Chain A
Amino acid sequence: MATSSNAPSAPAGGTADYAPPKKIGSLVIIVVALLLVTNVVTALSVYYLTPSAPAPTVQPLRVIGPWASDEKAKFIPVLDAFKNKTGISYEYITTRQEDLQSLLPNWFAAKRAPADLIFMPSSFIKTYGIQGNAVDLNGTVSGSSYAPGALDPLKDGTKIYGGAYTGKVKPGFWYRQSFFTAHNYNVPTTWTQFTALLAKIESDRSVTNTPILSGDGVGWPLSDVVEHFLATYGGPSMNQAIMAKTLPWTSTSVHDVFANYLVPTLTRGAVCANGCWSAPRQWDTGVAEWWRGDYALYFMGSWITGMVTPSSDIRVFALPGGVTPSGVVFAADYFFVPTYASRVADAKQLAKFLGSAEAQQKQVSVGGHIATVLGVPLSAYPSVDASIAQNLTGKVILSDLDDTIGGTFQTTFWSQLQALWANPGNLNAILANIQAAMPT
């Protein structure tokens, strides 16, 4: 009987008579046996020859925040102070909040969390806190140690789903004092003076571009501009009513603020021949362009003070001639401890620390931040931030409108405002689209 070892190859005439070797069964058995033997040998070797398994290392406390590069460098000393105080090591990870809004719901659905303490907008924290995804920090953070109302966006009854860290103010248009002095420009005190200033900057050709730089990222800088216009010419109550969903975007009063103030500055030939605002540009690279004189004015949050040198040259003015008392948007950075955090107790300690005057004083001292807790002296701030903090007195403090409403409204709002910047004549349709995106 022929075997595979001595079977001749197929005849040259064709393969019709060819039959494969028959000992495949034996071959399979040999291969399986070999696999078994090698696996057993490997397992035994690993078990007996490997030195005792290393002790499990303690994972550092994971913190996710939105700050990168310079902003991150200014936050790390605060975490270091926490580490020195408690001995708890940490790991800081930068992730954009826009990305986390997509990712976190899936982590929560899997009963897991990517970090022990996460910075997110208040609307997100409250929404997912009510659903059981955030630890109640009542008792850890104390409402009485904060400025009045600072924790309100995080509260649901007696529960507080997060804490407020420092915040940023969106006070108005930033400019360089040296630029204004060189061109003999004055800070406007009325709307007419403001539009006259814009027209003069354009006609003087004192800047290489439009008088005002429009910031962009995923769209949020434009929303800050709009909130400022609403709070100034509609009054703080307008922002509050919109957030409370009692005043629609399509109402006459809201429409008039857009139509009478913002739209003329956007429209070519109304106030400025080419429009007073630039096309939206990446906000952080825009800082350098504005600072070197490509643009005269830039509407941005107070964090900008930490991004320019020398910071003593930076000044700000709010839109003039509005309703009194005027409102100013104060956007706090909120954090929460996920229910599924691996180190809830340590995360609570960090939450308590971040809500203390000690931590916030350290943060504000490096510029660009305003404390939300009480007990941080004005002397702790750099001079420019101290003046901003001081200017808050007498003004109605407003929370960030799109952060407060949150959800899909936020991104729709941003993209619709981009559309307004591109085509200001389309105001009615844009307001209708924004209103349609409001949550019911």
Chain B
Amino acid sequence: MSPLRGGGRRSLAFSYRPYLRVLFFVPATVLLVFLVLYPALQTLLLSFYTPSGQFAGLNNYGSVLGNRETIDTSDWQMPYGTLINNCLWIAIHLPLTLFTGLYLALTLQKVRGASIIKSMIFLGRVTPMIVGGIILTFLFDEKSGIVPRLFGLLGINSLAIQWTQYPETLLFGLIFGSVWLWVGFSLIAYSAGLTTIPRDYFEAAQMDGASPWQTFRRITWPLLRQTTLTVVTMTILWELKIFDIIFAATNPNGGVGGAADVLALQMFRYAFRAGNYNAAAVVATLLTGLTLLVSAWMFRRIIIGPQRKGRRVRKLVLQFWTRVWTRIKPHRTVPQA
């Protein structure tokens, strides 16, 4: 009998090992169910009811999405509404932080004392966002702020103003200003990603006479794909739920005329200013939906992988439409009489 195979009577704990594994999941599962799942489902439920407790169907969603606070494209002038403002955050802030972080990571790769510079840049990331928001108000202050003064020195007087007091500059000022708060994350992520690429690849490319741009395009960028996905996802999630910077730099209405208003601020206002928890639940559900979409996309890209993506999606779509077709087909063939 092999001493390692352990013949004879097995201990009780060893026999019940599969159940023990399940047992260890129980505390976390219970916490998740009560602290995450239950409130999330309650919020979802709440979004379909009126404040007086009557079922409202999709009316709450209609009124929130139809509200000019959410989408205001009537004259294509500031403010555009919370949903569009969130989209603007993603459209401008995401590429800026992503490529600035990548550029810095590549540049600092072979710099002596780079870790000190990286730490300094990362300070923005560890600064509480509420403090970051207050700092931004000082940055854009007409008298003491560096940004208006810089534009003043350059002779661009239209931008040598108090940025937080004009709808045209407020939102973009906050977006541009917050790049330094987040770029530390993409810098660190890309720096870590770069260390995982074997040096042989670069040496081989150099021997083949590849230019730096070709090396970057053919080796660095493709091999940083997973890192990019993580940075993109985390940044989009941050941009979707952005609240503290805007709250600190403006007011609960998103500043002058609501120019910097975003979904999270709108949700806060509905819940804690207006006491309309149903409308707040609608915004919360929309935010959760958008967040889940992004998260699902990331998991699909990272875990399932791109090569299977098309096949799986096609299969799922086919299954879905087959089911729908089998359900509606009999109705279509039943004579009206």
Do A and B make up one complex?
Answer: yes
Q: Say whether A25 faces chain B, with CB atoms less than 8 Å apart.
A: yes
Q: Say whether A8 faces chain B, with CB atoms less than 8 Å apart.
A: yes
Closest to A22 in B: B11
B253–A105 CB distance below 8 A:
no
Question: Given A102-B268, A102-B272, does the pair A19, B6 have CB atoms closer than 8 Å?
Answer: yes
Question: Given A219-B251, A411-B251, does the pair A418, B257 have CB atoms closer than 8 Å?
Answer: yes
Question: Given A24-B11, A415-B257, does the pair A19, B5 have CB atoms closer than 8 Å?
Answer: yes
Partner of B161 from A103, A105, A279, A412 at Cβ < 8 Å: A279
Q: Which of these binds chain A: B162-170, B204-212, B220-228?
A: B162-170
A2–B6 CB distance below 8 A:
yes
The secondary structure that dominates the A interface is helix
Closest to A439 in B: B274
Question: Given A407-B273, A411-B251, does the pair A25, B13 have CB atoms closer than 8 Å?
Answer: yes
Q: Say whether B40 faces chain A, with CB atoms less than 8 Å apart.
A: no
A28–B13 CB distance below 8 A:
yes
Cα–Cα distance between A430 and B257 once the two chains are bound (Å): 8
With a cutoff of 8 Å between Cβ atoms, the chain A residues found around residue B4 in the complex are: 2, 7-8, 10, 17-19
Cα–Cα distance between A8 and B5 once the two chains are bound (Å): 12
Q: Say whether A95 faces chain B, with CB atoms less than 8 Å apart.
A: no
Q: Which of these binds chain B: A79-87, A302-310, A419-427?
A: A419-427
Q: Say whether A356 faces chain B, with CB atoms less than 8 Å apart.
A: no
Cα–Cα distance between A17 and B2 once the two chains are bound (Å): 9
- B 235-278 contacts with A by CB, 8 A: 251-259, 268-269, 272-275
Per-residue A-contact encoding for B126-158, CB less than 8 Å = 1, 0 else = 000000000000000011000000000000000
Which of A106, A280, A411, A418: most chain B CB closer than 10 A? A418
- Determine how close the nearest CB of chain B comes to the CB of A219; give it in whole angstroms: 6
B11–A415 CB distance below 8 A:
no
With a cutoff of 8 Å between Cβ atoms, the chain A residues found around residue B167 in the complex are: 419, 422-423
The size bracket of the interface on A is 35 or more
Q: Say whether A416 faces chain B, with CB atoms less than 8 Å apart.
A: yes
With a cutoff of 8 Å between Cβ atoms, the chain A residues found around residue B252 in the complex are: 98, 102, 218, 411
Per-residue A-contact encoding for B270-292, CB less than 8 Å = 1, 0 else = 00111100000000000000000
Cα–Cα distance between A216 and B273 once the two chains are bound (Å): 20
With a cutoff of 8 Å between Cβ atoms, the chain A residues found around residue B2 in the complex are: 17
Per-residue B-contact encoding for A127-151, CB less than 8 Å = 1, 0 else = 0000000000000000000000000
Closest to A104 in B: B272
- A 101-117 contacts with B by CB, 8 A: 101-103, 105-106
Closest to A421 in B: B165
Cα–Cα distance between A418 and B253 once the two chains are bound (Å): 11
Cα–Cα distance between A250 and B133 once the two chains are bound (Å): 35
- Determine how close the nearest CB of chain A comes to the CB of B73; give it in whole angstroms: 14
Which of A411, A414, A422: most chain B CB closer than 10 A? A422
With a cutoff of 8 Å between Cβ atoms, the chain A residues found around residue B62 in the complex are: none
Q: Say whether B293 faces chain A, with CB atoms less than 8 Å apart.
A: no
Q: Say whether B12 faces chain A, with CB atoms less than 8 Å apart.
A: yes
Cα–Cα distance between A97 and B302 once the two chains are bound (Å): 47
B272–A105 CB distance below 8 A:
yes
B251–A102 CB distance below 8 A:
no
With a cutoff of 8 Å between Cβ atoms, the chain B residues found around residue A20 in the complex are: 14
A101–B273 CB distance below 8 A:
yes
With a cutoff of 8 Å between Cβ atoms, the chain B residues found around residue A219 in the complex are: 251, 253
- Determine how close the nearest CB of chain A comes to the CB of B50; give it in whole angstroms: 15
Q: Say whether B8 faces chain A, with CB atoms less than 8 Å apart.
A: yes
Q: Say whether A352 faces chain B, with CB atoms less than 8 Å apart.
A: no
A22–B6 CB distance below 8 A:
yes
- Determine how close the nearest CB of chain A comes to the CB of B196; give it in whole angstroms: 27
Cα–Cα distance between A10 and B251 once the two chains are bound (Å): 65
Q: Say whether B3 faces chain A, with CB atoms less than 8 Å apart.
A: yes
Partner of A279 from B8, B162, B269 at Cβ < 8 Å: B162
Q: Say whether A1 faces chain B, with CB atoms less than 8 Å apart.
A: yes
With a cutoff of 8 Å between Cβ atoms, the chain B residues found around residue A7 in the complex are: 3-4
Chain B positions within 8 Å of A, measured between CB atoms, are 2-6, 8, 10-14, 142-143, 161-162, 165-167, 251-259, 268-269, 272-275
Q: Which 9 A-B pairs have the closest CB atoms?
A: A419-B257, A25-B13, A2-B3, A102-B272, A418-B256, A415-B253, A218-B251, A279-B162, A25-B11
Starting from the known contacts A23-B11, A27-B13, A281-B142, 5 additional A-B residue pairs (CB-CB under 8 Å) come to: A25-B12, A26-B11, A106-B272, A279-B161, A411-B251
- Can you spell out 10 A-B residue pairs with CB atoms less than 8 angstroms apart? A7-B3, A19-B5, A22-B14, A23-B11, A105-B275, A106-B272, A219-B253, A281-B162, A411-B273, A412-B253
